[in-house]
Structure 1
């Protein structure tokens, strides 16, 4: 088993790191049961033939936080990132077994905030379902990290992330500028009960499902940076 320092180096150099066996089957089942029983008429729930998603997931399911932030996950966060990071965004994604949902290569360039303010080096802005998002200074994105919790076995056949290793080190990297003669695509297969750590600036995509199996993921973003001039993270936890 790799050490925390080895995973930290892997994340720093490659932009991602996979860690298995963070949850038990019982913990995963409790999470899925809570989602199944939820009221899906809420504004934060979005459902279509290709996608079921829940925005502000941790706010919608506060009772799941002790399960999600179990001893193993807390140890990873504290040893790799330190104790000053906090949750700033959480989403649940369910790519159904018959989904044709394809996500093209992109970086996660925006953060979710509580209001729109005219601030230097913040922009452009977008608003979706009363949720404000803005592209912040790149230093914030470079410092943030994401944890994706896998509730299903995930590989290239049911929408595992495809990433460009090391692309997070190149600043804002437009997909149309990818030089495929130089760049390497990696498929990030993750076992059920495992996680993937990733940097927001890592170029990543997701292919269509071809094996009729679900891909359910909880996506949680973290920062240790306070925002300026009365602007707040929408989900600071």
Structure 2
């Protein structure tokens, strides 16, 4: 698989889509493992508009070997190198009748084990006993996200809308977007494909209008070393997992 073009797209536009990373059977195996999970834990969010599992790989470890198949490992290593590790995993299930939407934003925080006052790190937030903090800009610039699509996704069931190349502009407040010069793109992604994006890419998603589910696994990766006082709240050297 020649991923040179995809690497260039990520550098220049802030995102890229790669098709056929997972077969239909691999998707079904992942969903079966998720559906077996105990949903009573507080890391599981349940509402009419969204079901989510935070720290997915910790809560449902049976998914690890299924998610990190040979294709996904090869994609990560060819585009980003061999020094990256996983630092966050979330499963999102946006139901058929969901009115849940997310306005334009950048992903400006990382998940850590505790709150420690360190220059350059802050502010902190805490949700469901998990800490998040905004780190120095260079950490966000080096990180990347992979979204595994378990359903076909388009403008009608919450595909991400992004502003091309906004990842290259540092902290970019949504209220300052100049729509006369910025370009919005809908990232339609097929079932079994992945979308790779940079955290600083401005992105949003709309309400569902076509009565179709949108299930996505959101994985964040880093190769950055945190100050010794802090640890990633989730860490996995995925290269050591079987596939």
**TM-score, scaled to structure 2:** 0.96
**Deviation by residue 1:90-143 (Cα, 9 ceiling, x = unmatched):** 000011000000100000000000010000010011001110000000000000
Please give the alpha-carbon distance, in whole angstroms, between the structure 1 residues aligned to 2:58 and 2:86: 11
The answer to whether structure 1 residue 235 and structure 2 residue 239 are counterparts is no
The answer to whether structure 1 residue 38 and structure 2 residue 37 are counterparts is yes
Please give the alpha-carbon distance, in whole angstroms, between the structure 2 residues aligned to 1:64 and 1:157: 28
Q: How does 1:149-168 map to 2 (within 5 A)?
A: 149-168=148-167
Aligned-residue offset at 1:200: 0.1
Aligned-residue offset at 1:236: 1.0
Number of matched pairs: 236
Residue in structure 1 matched with residue 180 of structure 2 by the alignment: 181
Residue in structure 1 matched with residue 99 of structure 2 by the alignment: 100
Please give the alpha-carbon distance, in whole angstroms, between the structure 1 residues aligned to 2:118 and 2:72: 35
The answer to whether structure 1 residue 28 and structure 2 residue 30 are counterparts is no
Please give the alpha-carbon distance, in whole angstroms, between the structure 2 residues aligned to 1:3 and 1:16: 17
Please give the alpha-carbon distance, in whole angstroms, between the structure 2 residues aligned to 1:235 and 1:167: 27
The answer to whether structure 1 residue 84 and structure 2 residue 83 are counterparts is yes
Q: Secondary structure at the residue paired with 1:156?
A: coil
Residue in structure 1 matched with residue 196 of structure 2 by the alignment: 197
The answer to whether the 8 Å contact 2:34/2:63 transfers is no
Moved more, 49-58 or 32-41: 32-41
**Deviation by residue 1:167-206 (Cα, 9 ceiling, x = unmatched):** 0000000000000000000000000000000000000000
Please give the alpha-carbon distance, in whole angstroms, between the structure 1 residues aligned to 2:61 and 2:223: 21
Q: Secondary structure at the residue paired with 1:205?
A: strand
Residue in structure 2 matched with residue 124 of structure 1 by the alignment: 123
Residue in structure 1 matched with residue 5 of structure 2 by the alignment: 6
Aligned-residue offset at 1:211: 0.1
Q: Structure 1 regions of 5+ residues with no counterpart?
A: none
Q: Structure 2 regions of 5+ residues with no counterpart?
A: 237-243
Please give the alpha-carbon distance, in whole angstroms, between the structure 2 residues aligned to 1:146 and 1:25: 22
Q: Secondary structure at the residue paired with 1:66?
A: helix
